[in-house]
C-alpha cells in the first residue's frame, strides 16, 4: 500500500489565491506609508531649516538675504549639504524669513 503525503493542486491553488488577495491589500498600504514618510521627512526638513534660519538671526543680528546664506554656511549645516526635499520640490525662502511648507 502506497501512502504518499503532499498537497493537491486544488490546495495549492487556494493558497496562491489567498496570498494574492493579501498582497493586493497590503501593497497599496505599504506604498501609501512610503508617501506619508516622505511627506513627514519633508516637514522635518522645513522645521530644521527654519530653526537654522532663527539661529542665523541670533548669531548675525539680521535675517539671511537668501536661503543659501544659511544652507551653504558650515556653521549651520556642517556638511555644507542642506536637506533636500524627498518629494523633489525646492524649498522656498519667503518674505517672513521662513521656508514655506509644501502643499502635499
- The cell numbers describing 30, all together, are 505599504
Q: By three-state DSSP, how is residue 102 classified?
A: coil
Nearest Cα residue to 50 out of 94, 88, 5:
94
Q: Residue 16 falls within a domain, yes or no?
A: no
At residue 79, the pLDDT reads 81
Q: What percent of the chain clears pLDDT 70, i.e. is strictly above it? A: 95
Nearest Cα residue to 99 out of 61, 55, 36, 51:
51
14-65 per-position pLDDT tens digit: 999 999 999 888 888 777 788 888 999 999 999 999 999 999 999 999 999 9
At residue 48, the pLDDT reads 93
Q: Model's pTM, two decimal places? A: 0.70
| Residue 63, domain extent | 24-104
Q: Residue 2 falls within a domain, yes or no?
A: no
Counting the structural domains of the chain, the total is: 1
Q: Do 91 and 50 form a contact (C-beta atoms < 8 A)? A: no
Amino acid at each position: 500500500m502506497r501512502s504518499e503525503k503532499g498537497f493537491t493542486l486544488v490546495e495549492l491553488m487556494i493558497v496562491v489565491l489567498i496570498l494574492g488577495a493579501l498582497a493586493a491589500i497590503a501593497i497599496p498600504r505599504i506604498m501609501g506609508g512610503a508617501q506619508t514618510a516622505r511627506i513627514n521627512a519633508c516637514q522635518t526638513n522645513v522645521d530644521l531649516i527654519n530653526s537654522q534660519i532663527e539661529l542665523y538671526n541670533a548669531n548675525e543680528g539680521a535675517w539671511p538675504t537668501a536661503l543659501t546664506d544659511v544652507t551653504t554656511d558650515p556653521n549651520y549645516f556642517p556638511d555644507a549639504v542642506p536637506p533636500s526635499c524627498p518629494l523633489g520640490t525646492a524649498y522656498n525662502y519667503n518674505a517672513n524669513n521662513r521656508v514655506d511648507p509644501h502643499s502635499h
